[in-house]
Protein backbone atom coordinates (compact mmCIF):
# COMPACT_ATOMS: atom_id res chain seq x y z
CA UNK A 1 0.00 0.00 0.00
CA UNK A 2 1.30 3.45 -0.94
CA UNK A 3 0.47 6.26 1.47
CA UNK A 4 0.94 9.93 0.71
CA UNK A 5 1.37 11.02 4.32
CA UNK A 6 1.42 9.17 7.64
CA UNK A 7 2.80 9.77 11.13
CA UNK A 8 4.80 6.52 11.02
CA UNK A 9 4.57 3.52 8.72
CA UNK A 10 5.36 1.30 11.71
CA UNK A 11 2.44 2.79 13.64
CA UNK A 12 0.17 2.34 10.62
CA UNK A 13 1.21 -1.29 10.18
CA UNK A 14 0.82 -2.00 13.89
CA UNK A 15 -2.73 -0.65 13.81
CA UNK A 16 -3.54 -2.97 10.91
CA UNK A 17 -2.11 -5.95 12.81
CA UNK A 18 -4.10 -5.22 15.97
CA UNK A 19 -7.25 -4.71 13.89
CA UNK A 20 -6.78 -8.12 12.24
CA UNK A 21 -6.40 -6.44 8.85
CA UNK A 22 -2.80 -7.43 8.05
CA UNK A 23 -1.26 -10.57 6.62
CA UNK A 24 2.26 -11.88 6.16
CA UNK A 25 4.22 -9.86 3.61
CA UNK A 26 1.99 -6.79 3.58
CA UNK A 27 4.02 -3.64 2.94
CA UNK A 28 3.23 0.00 3.64
CA UNK A 29 5.19 2.67 1.79
CA UNK A 30 4.89 6.39 2.54
CA UNK A 31 6.00 9.38 0.52
CA UNK A 32 6.15 11.33 3.76
CA UNK A 33 5.98 10.56 7.47
CA UNK A 34 5.65 13.23 10.12
CA UNK A 35 6.85 11.29 13.15
CA UNK A 36 9.15 8.56 11.87
CA UNK A 37 10.71 6.32 14.49
CA UNK A 38 14.36 5.58 15.07
CA UNK A 39 16.16 3.58 17.70
CA UNK A 40 16.53 4.86 21.30
CA UNK A 41 13.46 7.05 20.85
CA UNK A 42 15.06 9.09 18.07
CA UNK A 43 13.10 10.53 15.16
CA UNK A 44 13.84 9.57 11.55
CA UNK A 45 13.83 12.73 9.39
CA UNK A 46 13.33 12.43 5.64
CA UNK A 47 12.32 14.71 2.79
CA UNK A 48 8.96 14.07 1.18
CA UNK A 49 9.03 11.78 -1.85
CA UNK A 50 12.79 11.35 -1.93
CA UNK A 51 13.48 8.21 0.08
CA UNK A 52 12.31 4.73 1.03
CA UNK A 53 9.94 4.82 3.99
CA UNK A 54 8.71 1.27 4.24
CA UNK A 55 7.24 -1.13 6.79
CA UNK A 56 6.68 -4.82 6.15
CA UNK A 57 4.49 -7.08 8.27
CA UNK A 58 5.92 -10.54 8.89
CA UNK A 59 4.33 -13.52 10.60
CA UNK A 60 6.96 -15.71 12.31
CA UNK A 61 5.05 -18.92 11.56
CA UNK A 62 5.47 -18.17 7.83
CA UNK A 63 9.27 -17.88 7.95
CA UNK A 64 12.14 -20.13 9.04
CA UNK A 65 13.52 -17.76 11.68
CA UNK A 66 12.81 -18.56 15.30
CA UNK A 67 13.77 -15.40 17.19
CA UNK A 68 13.43 -11.63 16.65
CA UNK A 69 17.19 -11.17 16.32
CA UNK A 70 17.25 -13.77 13.54
CA UNK A 71 14.75 -11.66 11.62
CA UNK A 72 16.78 -8.52 12.29
CA UNK A 73 19.74 -10.20 10.58
CA UNK A 74 17.60 -11.19 7.60
CA UNK A 75 16.18 -7.68 7.15
CA UNK A 76 19.64 -6.12 7.42
CA UNK A 77 20.97 -8.47 4.75
CA UNK A 78 18.03 -7.71 2.45
CA UNK A 79 18.84 -4.00 2.77
CA UNK A 80 22.49 -4.79 2.09
CA UNK A 81 21.40 -6.73 -1.01
CA UNK A 82 19.44 -3.74 -2.29
CA UNK A 83 22.34 -1.36 -1.79
CA UNK A 84 24.80 -3.78 -3.37
CA UNK A 85 22.59 -4.17 -6.45
CA UNK A 86 22.34 -0.44 -7.05
CA UNK A 87 25.56 0.89 -5.55
CA UNK A 88 27.91 -2.05 -6.03
CA UNK A 89 31.41 -1.94 -4.59
CA UNK A 90 34.63 -0.46 -5.89
CA UNK A 91 37.79 1.13 -4.62
CA UNK A 92 35.80 3.93 -3.00
CA UNK A 93 33.71 1.65 -0.82
CA UNK A 94 30.94 -0.89 -0.42
CA UNK A 95 27.80 -1.26 1.70
CA UNK A 96 28.18 -2.44 5.29
CA UNK A 97 25.84 -3.43 8.12
CA UNK A 98 26.52 -1.46 11.29
CA UNK A 99 25.44 -3.33 14.40
CA UNK A 100 22.71 -3.36 15.43
CA UNK A 101 20.49 -1.65 12.88
CA UNK A 102 22.16 0.75 10.45
CA UNK A 103 23.26 0.60 6.81
CA UNK A 104 26.55 2.27 5.98
CA UNK A 105 28.65 3.19 2.98
CA UNK A 106 32.15 4.60 3.53
CA UNK A 107 31.52 5.60 7.16
CA UNK A 108 28.30 7.35 6.16
CA UNK A 109 24.78 6.29 7.08
CA UNK A 110 22.56 5.27 4.18
CA UNK A 111 19.65 3.91 6.19
CA UNK A 112 18.32 2.32 9.32
CA UNK A 113 16.02 -0.45 10.53
CA UNK A 114 13.50 -0.53 13.36
CA UNK A 115 11.73 -3.82 14.10
CA UNK A 116 8.86 -3.92 16.59
CA UNK A 117 7.39 -7.21 17.73
CA UNK A 118 3.95 -8.30 18.86
CA UNK A 119 4.04 -10.91 21.62
CA UNK A 120 1.21 -12.78 23.29
CA UNK A 121 2.70 -14.14 26.46
CA UNK A 122 5.94 -15.73 25.25
CA UNK A 123 4.59 -16.39 21.76
CA UNK A 124 6.03 -14.25 18.95
CA UNK A 125 3.00 -13.43 16.83
CA UNK A 126 4.05 -10.62 14.45
CA UNK A 127 7.06 -8.54 13.45
CA UNK A 128 6.74 -5.00 12.13
CA UNK A 129 9.91 -4.26 10.15
CA UNK A 130 10.44 -0.58 9.40
CA UNK A 131 13.16 0.50 6.98
CA UNK A 132 14.34 3.95 5.99
CA UNK A 133 16.88 4.33 3.18
CA UNK A 134 18.20 7.59 1.75
CA UNK A 135 17.58 7.46 -1.98
CA UNK A 136 17.29 10.78 -3.84
CA UNK A 137 17.83 13.23 -0.98
CA UNK A 138 21.06 15.24 -1.29
CA UNK A 139 20.66 17.85 1.46
CA UNK A 140 20.34 16.81 5.09
CA UNK A 141 19.80 18.53 8.40
CA UNK A 142 22.93 19.94 10.03
CA UNK A 143 22.17 17.63 12.96
CA UNK A 144 22.90 14.66 10.68
CA UNK A 145 26.63 14.83 10.07
CA UNK A 146 27.29 11.58 8.20
CA UNK A 147 24.25 10.85 6.00
CA UNK A 148 24.57 9.64 2.43
CA UNK A 149 22.05 8.70 -0.27
CA UNK A 150 22.08 6.41 -3.28
CA UNK A 151 21.93 9.47 -5.53
CA UNK A 152 25.02 10.96 -3.91
CA UNK A 153 26.90 7.69 -4.34
CA UNK A 154 25.83 6.89 -7.90
CA UNK A 155 24.81 10.31 -9.27
CA UNK A 156 21.60 8.65 -10.47
CA UNK A 157 17.93 9.31 -9.71
CA UNK A 158 15.83 6.36 -8.54
CA UNK A 159 12.15 5.46 -8.44
CA UNK A 160 11.56 5.04 -4.71
CA UNK A 161 8.45 2.87 -5.08
CA UNK A 162 10.24 0.49 -7.44
CA UNK A 163 13.13 0.20 -4.98
CA UNK A 164 10.74 -0.41 -2.08
CA UNK A 165 8.97 -3.14 -4.04
CA UNK A 166 12.31 -4.77 -4.77
CA UNK A 167 13.26 -4.53 -1.09
CA UNK A 168 9.97 -6.17 -0.06
CA UNK A 169 10.83 -9.19 -2.21
CA UNK A 170 14.39 -9.35 -0.89
CA UNK A 171 13.16 -9.37 2.72
CA UNK A 172 10.68 -12.16 2.07
CA UNK A 173 13.43 -14.17 0.38
CA UNK A 174 15.98 -13.63 3.15
CA UNK A 175 13.42 -14.53 5.83
CA UNK A 176 13.14 -18.04 4.39
CA UNK A 177 16.87 -18.78 4.68
CA UNK A 178 18.61 -20.58 7.53
CA UNK A 179 19.89 -18.44 10.37
CA UNK A 180 23.35 -20.04 10.32
CA UNK A 181 23.88 -18.92 6.73
CA UNK A 182 22.39 -15.50 7.40
CA UNK A 183 24.64 -14.85 10.40
CA UNK A 184 27.72 -15.90 8.44
CA UNK A 185 26.89 -13.41 5.69
CA UNK A 186 25.95 -10.73 8.21
CA UNK A 187 29.39 -10.97 9.80
CA UNK A 188 31.08 -10.92 6.41
CA UNK A 189 29.51 -7.51 5.76
CA UNK A 190 29.81 -6.22 9.34
CA UNK A 191 30.87 -2.58 9.63
CA UNK A 192 34.38 -2.10 11.09
CA UNK A 193 34.98 -5.84 11.53
CA UNK A 194 38.53 -6.48 12.76
CA UNK A 195 39.07 -2.75 13.14
CA UNK A 196 39.58 -0.63 16.25
CA UNK A 197 36.57 1.54 17.09
CA UNK A 198 35.54 3.83 19.91
CA UNK A 199 32.47 2.91 21.92
CA UNK A 200 30.68 4.57 24.81
CA UNK A 201 29.21 2.69 27.76
CA UNK A 202 27.49 4.85 30.35
CA UNK A 203 29.90 7.82 30.56
CA UNK A 204 33.03 5.91 29.60
CA UNK A 205 34.54 6.05 26.09
CA UNK A 206 36.94 3.26 25.21
CA UNK A 207 38.68 1.67 22.23
CA UNK A 208 38.20 -1.94 21.22
CA UNK A 209 38.38 -4.20 18.16
CA UNK A 210 35.12 -5.41 16.58
CA UNK A 211 35.24 -9.18 16.03
CA UNK A 212 31.75 -10.37 15.14
CA UNK A 213 28.12 -10.54 16.16
CA UNK A 214 27.21 -13.64 18.13
CA UNK A 215 24.17 -15.83 17.53
CA UNK A 216 22.39 -14.24 20.49
CA UNK A 217 22.80 -10.77 18.97
CA UNK A 218 25.66 -9.54 21.14
CA UNK A 219 28.48 -7.53 19.61
CA UNK A 220 31.75 -9.36 20.32
CA UNK A 221 34.82 -7.15 20.74
CA UNK A 222 38.36 -7.61 22.02
CA UNK A 223 40.86 -5.34 23.74
CA UNK A 224 42.87 -7.06 26.44
CA UNK A 225 40.06 -9.60 26.77
CA UNK A 226 36.84 -10.53 25.01
CA UNK A 227 33.91 -8.18 25.60
CA UNK A 228 30.28 -8.71 24.69
CA UNK A 229 27.63 -6.03 24.46
CA UNK A 230 23.88 -6.39 24.13
CA UNK A 231 21.61 -4.03 22.25
CA UNK A 232 21.28 -0.69 24.04
CA UNK A 233 24.37 -1.18 26.21
CA UNK A 234 26.76 0.90 24.11
CA UNK A 235 26.87 3.72 21.60
CA UNK A 236 29.26 4.18 18.71
CA UNK A 237 31.47 7.26 18.95
CA UNK A 238 31.98 8.79 15.51
Q: Kindly report the CATH number assigned to the domain that includes residue 7.
A: 3.30.930.10
CA distances from 16 to 116, 128, 165 (A): 14, 11, 19
Q: In a 10 Å sphere around its CB, with 0-12 CB exposed, 13-18 middle and 19+ buried, how is residue 90 labelled?
A: exposed
Do both 119 and 228 map to the same domain? no
pLDDT digits (tens, 9 = 90+) for 27-68: 999 999 987 665 545 555 678 999 999 999 999 999 988 899
Do both 147 and 215 map to the same domain? no
Q: Nearest CA to 187 among 77, 64, 71?
A: 77
Task: Provide the 3-class DSSP secondary structure of residue 188.
Answer: helix
Do both 125 and 204 map to the same domain? no
Q: In a 10 Å sphere around its CB, with 0-12 CB exposed, 13-18 middle and 19+ buried, how is residue 23 labelled?
A: exposed
pTM for the model:
0.93
pLDDT digits (tens, 9 = 90+) for 87-127: 987 656 889 999 999 999 999 999 999 999 999 998 999 99
Q: Which domain holds residue 21?
A: 2-188
**Tally of domains within the chain:** 2
Do both 43 and 70 map to the same domain? yes
Do both 48 and 165 map to the same domain? yes
Do both 147 and 223 map to the same domain? no
Question: Rounded to whole angstroms, how far apart are CA atoms 100 and 174?
Answer: 17
Question: Rounded to whole angstroms, how far apart are CA atoms 238 and 226?
Answer: 22
Do both 122 and 227 map to the same domain? no
- Whole-angstrom Cα Rg for the chain: 17
Amino acid sequence: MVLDNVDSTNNYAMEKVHAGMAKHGDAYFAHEQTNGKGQRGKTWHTNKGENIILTIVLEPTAIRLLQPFHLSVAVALACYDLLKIHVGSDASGEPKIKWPNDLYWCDRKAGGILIENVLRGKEWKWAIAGIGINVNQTEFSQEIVNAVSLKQITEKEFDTIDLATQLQGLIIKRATQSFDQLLKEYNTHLYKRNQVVRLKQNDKIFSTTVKEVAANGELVCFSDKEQRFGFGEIEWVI
